[in-house]
Structure 1
């Protein structure tokens, strides 16, 4: 699924992983909330995390966070 949420992906030299922060979900999840051994895996895992957070919001009757946008 192609979600329109922000992803911040940073390399962790200590963990030897790409760590993913999802700014819009900061109130729902401890950050960083996902990771990957490759950049591509980090993105795929982040998309799975977003799907899980959106499902949680739906199940709990919570309003999911709105995706932020960058002005051109």
Structure 2
């Protein structure tokens, strides 16, 4: 599955979250590191949902850049 991920600068580090997986977040000192961390977080989150017998949400969010 392919999930949309939002990466934001948060002061001196970066944070990331997955809109379709509430509670799935990561932080790291660089954008590159937070990308790696959120990949791991997504896998861990989905494993936890399956282990608990909960449904795994289908990816429905998408991200676009808009010129203003």
Separation in 2, partners of 1:6, 1:68: 8
Any stretches of 5+ residues in structure 1 without a counterpart?
Answer: none
Give the structure-1-normalised TM-score.
0.77
Structure 2 unaligned segments of length 5 or more: list them: 63-68
1:41 aligned onto 2:26? no
Q: TM-score, normalised by structure 2?
A: 0.81
- Runs of 4 or more consecutive aligned structure 1 residues displaced over 4 Å after TM superposition: none
- Residue of 5, 20, 24 corresponding to 1:7: 5
Alpha-carbon separation, structure 2, partners of 1:50 and 1:43 = 11
Aligned residues: CA RMSD? 1.8
Matching of residues 10-29 of structure 1 within 5 Å: 10-13=8-11, 16-26=12-22, 29=23
Q: Is the 8 A contact 2:6 2:18 kept in 1?
A: yes
Aligned residue pairs, count: 63
